[in-house]
Structures are given as C-alpha cells and as structure tokens.
Amino acid sequence: MFTKSGMQNKKQNEKFCNRLAFTVLILIAAMVMLPIYWIFRSSLMGSLDIFIWPPKFLPMGTINPSEWNWSNYTIRSANFVFLRNLMNSFAISVPCVIFGTATAISCAYAFARLNFTGKRFLFSLCIGSMLLPTMVTLIPLYMAWTYLGFVDSYWPLILPYLCGGGAFNIFLLRQFIRTIPRDLDEAAKIDGAGYWQILFNIIIPSIRPAIIVISLLIFITTWNDLLQQMIYIHSADKYTLVLGLTAFFGNFKADFAGMFAATVLTFTPGLIIYLVCQRYFIEGIVMTGMKN
C-alpha cells in the first residue's frame, strides 16, 4: 500500500502546501502590518506632516523636514511620567492575571468535570453574565465602589478578577477541559487521586496552551481597559499608560505624532509578553493526544 514513491509524492505535496500557505500568509501579514506600520511611521513625524497629501510612506516630513523624528520617543520614554504610568499599568494587570487565571481554572474545572446540584443553573448564569455589556453595570458598580470608598484606587479594577476571572475565561477553559479524554482523570481517580490532585496533575498540564491564552487575554484586556480606568482613576499619579494616551488632546491642538509614539510604547510590553508566552502555548503541548 505504501510504496516509496507514494511517500515521496506525499512529502512533495506537503512541501507544496506549506509553500502555498507561506505565500498566502506573507501577503495577508503585509496587509495586517500596514496600519501598524502607519502608527509607527506617524510616530516619527511632526504632527502636521501626518496630514500631508498624498501621504508620505516613509516618515520624512516636508513641513518639518527633520529626518526621522525620534524625539517623539526619547522625550516620552525617558520621562518620569512614562515610567510611572508603566508601573501603574503593571500594578493593575499583574494581580488581575494571577488571580483571574487561578480562579478561572478552578471554576472551569468544576463546570467541566464535577457533578453538583444547580450546575446547569449556575452555568447559565455564568454564560448570561458574558452577554452583559460592561456599561450596563457601570453606574451601580460605580456607586457601590464609591460607597465603599474605593474610588481613585486600583481595587475596583482588580477585585473583579478575584471572582472567577471573567465568564469568558471560565467558559474557554471549560471548552478546553472538555476536549481532554475523561479516561485520564477517571484513571487517576481509581488510583486514589483527589480533586485537587487531578486538577494539578492532569487537567492543568493538558490545557496549558489555553491557560497561557487566557492569561494573555486578561493581561491585554486589563492593560487596555480605558473606560473603567477613566472612571475609577482620578489623580494623575495613578494614571496608567492608556490613560496617558488621552493627554495628547489639548483644548485647541492634538499631538497626533506624540500620541502614536506613546501608542507604540503602550503596546510594547504586551508584545514582549506575547512573544515570551507564545512558545509555551504553541509548541508546548502534544501530550493530550499522545496519551490517548
């Protein structure tokens, strides 16, 4: 059935497919990068140069022909405000990621694997809460946090992540846990493992890609959550990077180039974390299938 030439044929076929995939991806990637390149290009220009028609593809201004305007970066990255805002952003996102991921795993495990009274009801409540726009509960929550005296602190932004880390994340992890064959934990159960042991020794290693994905999602969501930060954070020394982005729009003028430079600085930490994480969730896991 499997002649040598058949195998070779298959390999060639595979190679061709990979090459085709590569070409298609490069083309789409170029289009995807265009707006990001545009942010970067604009961040190196003077604010007026951004408006020139036809647009300049390279960041060289004609109005302020000061070659590449790196000063948009050097001014901002070296300055105390930027570093302070950076630390503040971390001060919100890091606890959210840690607590959010941990609580989401435990809830997702219960929903995916354990039987208990009221499971369906609770799970529908959980799903229902995903459909709730943040804005709906904004006013009552704002009033409650104010009543508790937590306004102008990070608690209103962090505490919700202690409570299940968001229904989306619970649901995503549950979907992943359900793709793991049940025989694995049944076997462990027969060997006398408790629920915590099953969770730590079988479930968590098997869904590591998903765990890293939700940590990333929580990180990015909390990092970029302009609306809530704007509502809860008042004093300038507690400002975060995204809040800092709003400071480029003045009463009369808007410093678009400065805002774009700050945008690049704002998303860089997220990008670095993504790059570090990516090998874990993409190359990390083959065992689920192997063990089956």
Partner 1 sequence: MAGKKKKKSLMEKKEQRAAYVFLIPAFLGLSLITYIPLLAAMAIGFTDLRTGHFVRNRVLPPPRFVGFDNFVEIFTNPTIDFLNSIGVTVYYALFAVISSVFYSFFIAILLNRKIPGRAILRAIFYLPYILPAAAVMISWHFLLRYEGGLINYFLVNLGFERSHFLSASETVIPSLVMIAVWQCGNLIVIFLAGLQNVPRVYLEAAEIDGANFLKRFRHITVPCMTPIIFFNMLMSLVVSLQVVVPALSVTRGGPGKSSMFMTFLMYHVGFREGDLGKGSAISFIFFILAAILAAILFMTSKSWIFYEEGED
Partner 2 sequence: MKIKKILALILTAVMLMSIVTACGSSSDYNCKCDVIQLEFSIWGDESERESTQGALDVFNAMQSDIFVSLVQIPNEQYGERLRTLQTANNMPDCGMIDERTAIGWTREGLIKKIDIYEGQPSRPFAGITFSDGGQPIGYSIGSEVLALWFNRDMFDAAGVPYPPTTLDTAWQWDEFIEVAKLLTLDANGNNLNSPNFDATSIVQYGVYVNQWAWQLEVWALSNGGRWYSEDGTRAVFDDAAIEAMQKVYDLHLVHGVAPFNPAQTDDGWWDSVGAGNVAMCTEGQWATGFTMFSDINYGVGVLPYMKQQANITAGGPVGVFADTKHPEAAATFLRWYSDPESNWAPILDGWVMPNTTDWFTEEAKLTRWIDEVPNRARLDARAFRTAVADVALHPGTVPTGWYYTPGTDQIDRVLIPALVEAANGSKTVKEVIESVRPALEAAVSGN
Binding residues for partner 2, rule: CB under 8 A, are 46-53, 62-64, 87-88, 90-92, 94-95, 98, 139, 142-143, 146, 151, 153-155, 158, 230-231, 234-238, 243, 246-255, 276
Q: Kindly state the smallest distance separating residue 132's Cβ from partner 1, in Å.
A: 6
Q: Kindly state the smallest distance separating residue 221's Cβ from partner 2, in Å.
A: 17
Region binding partner 1 by CB under 8 A among candidate stretches 66-74, 79-87, 90-98, 141-149:
141-149
DSSP reduced 3-state for 55: coil
C-alpha distances in angstroms, 140 versus 137, 143, 145? 6, 5, 9
Q: Kindly state the smallest distance separating residue 176's Cβ from partner 2, in Å.
A: 21
Question: Binders of partner 1 among 145-204, rule CB under 8 A?
Answer: 159-160, 162-165, 167-168, 170-172, 175-176, 178-182, 195
Where helices occur in 200-247 by DSSP H, the ranges are 204-206, 208-223, 226-232, 241-245
Ramachandran area for residue 146 (φ above 0: left; ψ -120 to 50: alpha; else beta): alpha
Greatest Cα pair distance, the chain, in angstroms, is: 77
The rounded distance, in Å, linking the Cα atoms of 54 and 263 is 24
In DSSP terms, 254 is beta-bridged to: 249
Q: Which residue type sits at 172?
A: L
Indicate whether 50 belongs to the interface with partner 1 (CB under 8 A).
Answer: yes
Q: Kindly state the smallest distance separating residue 136's Cβ from partner 1, in Å.
A: 4
Instruction: Answer with the entry of partner 1, partner 2, none that 125 interacts with (C-beta below 5 to 8 A by kind).
Output: partner 1
